[in-house]
Amino acid sequence: MQWYQIAEDVAVMQRPLRAFGIDFGRNVTLLRLKDSRLVIHSTAPFLEADVAAIARFGKPSWLVEATRMHDTFARPARAAFPDLPYLVPAGFAKASGVPTKPLLPSPPDWSGEIDVLPIAGLRALEEHAFYHRRSRTLVVADLLFQFPADTKGWPRTFVRYVMRLPHLRGMSAFFRMMIRDRKKFEASMKTLLQWDFTQIVLAHREPVREEARAMLDQALGDWGFSVGG
């Protein structure tokens, strides 16, 4: 997997993930606590080299899924890290078929370092946002996408006209369809925007390294959501 270290205590491992003839990518985010223990956010079919790279970054201590929809690699991830607590949203265990524990309430060990927010108002997804305080990093699952500006051909057409992301970034039409309670969703976004983040790691494709808050504001505004004070 390709490795990006985007802060002293945050690294992203990206592998290909193809669907509809497009590489959406799958990002595994490593969030390191002060004592070097790691939260492994999102899973993948980890190779021995991947496991070794993770161990060099810190002590693997938790596997985490932020949405019910990300069960694709649950079995190989559990095989790679058989002894770690696997923390997941409601409904995930039934779909994945592997032993898990509830994501909420989050472990007391994370107190003061990592916050977790369930995004309300969604249908079926059970998505959660994470905030790594020390690095000011927001980590989301399918709430947002960002594709490279040089995306061309069929992938560019699909992203712009099917996902309805004319600028190749923002909230996709697919995610918008999963919002069933507008007021609850907006309330969650208002809470999320109280976090002092400066960058966003997404489950798919490129992290947002600059003007992250403006990107989220625009993504919400493009669909007419009101999250102002």
Please tell me whether the overall predicted TM-score, pTM, comes out greater than 0.85 for this model: yes
DSSP annotation string for 10-79: EEEEEE--EETTEE--EEEEEEE-TTSEEEEES-----HHHHHHHHHHSEEEEEE-SSTT--TTHHHHHH
Closest C-alpha among 224, 219, 217, 225 to residue 193: 217
CA dihedral 212, 142, 163, 194 (to 10 degrees): -40
pLDDT at position 17 is: 86
User: Do the strands 22-23 and 18-19 form a parallel or antiparallel pair, or are they unpaired?
Assistant: antiparallel
pLDDT in tens, 173-209: 999 999 999 999 999 999 999 999 999 999 999 999 9
For tokens 């918008």, the residue is 176
Of residues 98 and 109, more confidence is placed in 109
Q: In what order do the strands lie in the sheet with 26-32?
A: 2-7, 10-15, 26-32, 37-41, 59-64, 86-88, 101-102
Question: Would you place residue 97 in the very low, low, confident or very high pLDDT band (cuts 50, 70, 90)?
Answer: confident
Instruction: Judge whether 146 and 208 are in contact, CB under 8 Å.
Output: yes
Give the pLDDT of residue 98. 85
CB atoms within 10 A of CB 84: 16
pLDDT band for position 95 (50/70/90)?
low
Q: What is the pLDDT of residues 116-158, one digit of tens each?
A: 999 999 998 899 999 999 999 999 999 999 999 999 999 999 9
